[in-house]
Amino acid sequence: MAEPFVHAVLFLLLAITSLPISMASLHKLRLSASEVAAIEERAPPPPDQPTTFFEVDRPHRPPPGSFGPCSTVLLSHSFAYTYTKPPVTAAYSPPPCLAAAGGHASLISLAVLEWRAACRGVQYDRIFGVWLGGAELLRGCTAEPRRNGIEWSVSKDVTKYTSLLAARNPSTISVYLGNVVDEQYTGVYHANLTLHLYFRHPPQPPHPGLGPADVIVPVSQSLPLNDGLWFQIQNGEDVGSASLAVPTNAYRAVLEVYLSYHAHDEFWYTNTINSHGPFREVTVSIDGDLVGAVWPFPVIYTGGINPLLWRPITGIGSFSLPSYDIEITPFLEKLLDGKAHKFDLSVTNAQDSWLIDANLHLWLDPRGAPTTAGITSYDAPPLDTTTAFRPDGPGTEFYYTTAFRRISATGWVQTPSYGKITATWTQRLSYDNTNEVQDDSQQVVNQTTEAYSGVHVSDRGGIAYSQVAQQSFRLDVFVGVVNEEFNGSYTVARDVRLGFAEERVA
């Protein structure tokens, strides 16, 4: 089997920027609109010309032999006062060009969801989510606007959701972007959501368990509601929970987790002991048993730390936040009884608030006859985490936090079509964070997260496939006073280095 190998390294190095702000707001990692405007006065953008913001990303190319795209506007809306209001919705049915091509999900060679938006005036960066039939397709942060206006677009490969895109039952597309417009915060977000489909003929013969899932079941809140479909997690005891039944002919299951963090936990990696320390993880359990963990990449939104750092090139992952996969196949034994089971999402050490939900991707036996499954090994020792604290002279505190976790499970599935399949799921996670706080004058945070996750699947013919991801997330933040003068004037500097490295073998 060919072994496509993907290696991605994104590194953002941002030098010191000086801010004319008061010492009191030194630790405030989110500046007010007036502070941002005051800084921008020094190097104003060209007048009467909107700025295009962008995130560095790989272009999406359809596989050779594809034709298209066929483009369909799914939803168009101006988000003004939408905070705590119901999501904006539109009826969804497969675009006519998909029906004309034969209608089947396997005819889609590439599906791209494009979010294109504009805003003018003063406004915060806002988080938004896009759901189809309750399953999240895109989590994004808006670009924080300027008085002269801004525009940006995100194109996300959504081919893994083709079963939802091609489903014949009428469905609903929902977008929640909680915005507030008043005299001071005037920016309205105008957005268009477009689906681009590329097709292939004839459809590819399926590789069992690979390619887009046959069914996707949301682990989210149901409409109607006055918020996004995500669960809001406000503390370490909160649980986002959904009960769902899995089709009895499933033979592979992967839970895809979406998350973002806000308010008291927007900058969780800078938190001290009084704010639950800097370590956070999302845990996933089924009927109370831990099946996987997500150690998040620290996305910095466009209004974070110093908004001028993110104009026009936005922070890694901020326009399209990463999602994280947990292999559920080894745990199918308890899910194949046709009854509902409880999927729980929690955040260790959480403060208000985290927005979390998930999609359960399921691959079904084509004969429709039930599968049976068993679990042969499972090992999930408790989280191993420590924080060392050292008062480092008057007014100075130094924290060193580490965390380790491993989870592994092996299970088999007996299928009518493919015989007996055995799947092993392994996660090895490690984390360290140093945090040095000097009175009100300085804070230095250095954090590293290493996340290995792998699934190895074998069938009667030997190894069927392996999917391995090794991720390394690095964050260095300096916030502090430099150049203090005798006459009382000083410069506040903010320096951020953010690295996302990922190696995938599939």
Ligand X SMILES: *[C@@H]1O[C@H](CO)[C@@H](O)[C@H](O)[C@H]1NC(C)=O
Binding segment toward ligand X, per CB under 6 A, in 97-105, 111-119, 250-258, 262-270: 111-119
Q: Does 495 bind ligand X (CB under 6 A)?
A: yes
Residues numbered 173-212 forming contacts with ligand X, rule: CB under 6 A: 190, 192
Residue with tokens 């597309």: 173
> Across-strand partners of 224?
none
Q: Does 485 bind ligand X (CB under 6 A)?
A: yes
CA distances from 394 to 2, 184, 438 (A): 60, 41, 9
Residue type, 119: C
What is the smallest separation between the CB atom of 189 and ligand X, expressed in angstroms? 9
Q: Does 116 bind ligand X (CB under 6 A)?
A: yes
What is the smallest separation between the CB atom of 453 and ligand X, expressed in angstroms? 26
Q: Does 335 bind ligand X (CB under 6 A)?
A: no
CA distances from 233 to 174, 401, 506 (A): 21, 23, 33
Q: What is the 3-state secondary structure (H, E, C) of 385-405?
A: EEEEEEECCCCEEEEEEEEEE
Angle at 338 between CA 333 and CA 342, to 5 degrees: 70
What is the smallest separation between the CB atom of 98 and ligand X, expressed in angstroms? 21
Q: Which is nearer to ligand X, 74 or 336 (CB)?
A: 74
- Residue 199: count other Cβ atoms within 10 Å of its Cβ: 21
CA distances from 12 to 87, 118, 503 (A): 34, 25, 18
Binding segment toward ligand X, per CB under 6 A, in 96-104, 261-269, 401-409, 481-489: 481-489
Binding segment toward ligand X, per CB under 6 A, in 204-212, 293-301, 395-403, 482-490: 482-490
In the 8-state DSSP scheme, what is residue 193? Answer: E
* CB distance 322 to 453 below 8 Å: no
Please select the residue that binds ligand X; options are 497, 503, 504, 506, rule is CB under 6 A: 497
CA distances from 462 to 115, 375, 422, 453, 495 (A): 42, 19, 10, 21, 50
Q: Which is nearer to ligand X, 117 or 336 (CB)?
A: 117
Residue type, 421: I
Q: Which is nearer to ligand X, 5 or 486 (CB)?
A: 486
Q: Which is nearer to ligand X, 191 or 421 (CB)?
A: 191
Residues 99 and 168: their CA atoms lie apart, in Å, by 9
Residues numbered 59-88 forming contacts with ligand X, rule: CB under 6 A: 76
Tell me phi and psi for residue 303, to 5 degrees: -100, 10
The residue sitting closest to ligand X, measured at its beta carbon, is 476
What is the smallest separation between the CB atom of 51 and ligand X, expressed in angstroms? 14
Q: Does 27 bind ligand X (CB under 6 A)?
A: no
Q: Which is nearer to ligand X, 330 or 480 (CB)?
A: 480
Q: Which is nearer to ligand X, 182 or 485 (CB)?
A: 485
Sign of CA dihedral 103, 105, 111, 117: positive
Residues 89 and 224: their CA atoms lie apart, in Å, by 10
Binding segment toward ligand X, per CB under 6 A, in 17-25, 165-173, 378-386, 483-491: 483-491
Please select the residue that binds ligand X; options are 432, 476, 502, 503, rule is CB under 6 A: 476
Q: Does 90 bind ligand X (CB under 6 A)?
A: no
Residues 182 and 80: their CA atoms lie apart, in Å, by 9
Please select the residue that binds ligand X; options are 84, 169, 274, 487, rule is CB under 6 A: 487
What is the smallest separation between the CB atom of 328 and ligand X, expressed in angstroms? 37
List interacting residues with ligand X (CB under 6 A). Answer: 76, 116-118, 190, 192, 444, 446, 476, 478, 485, 487, 489, 495, 497
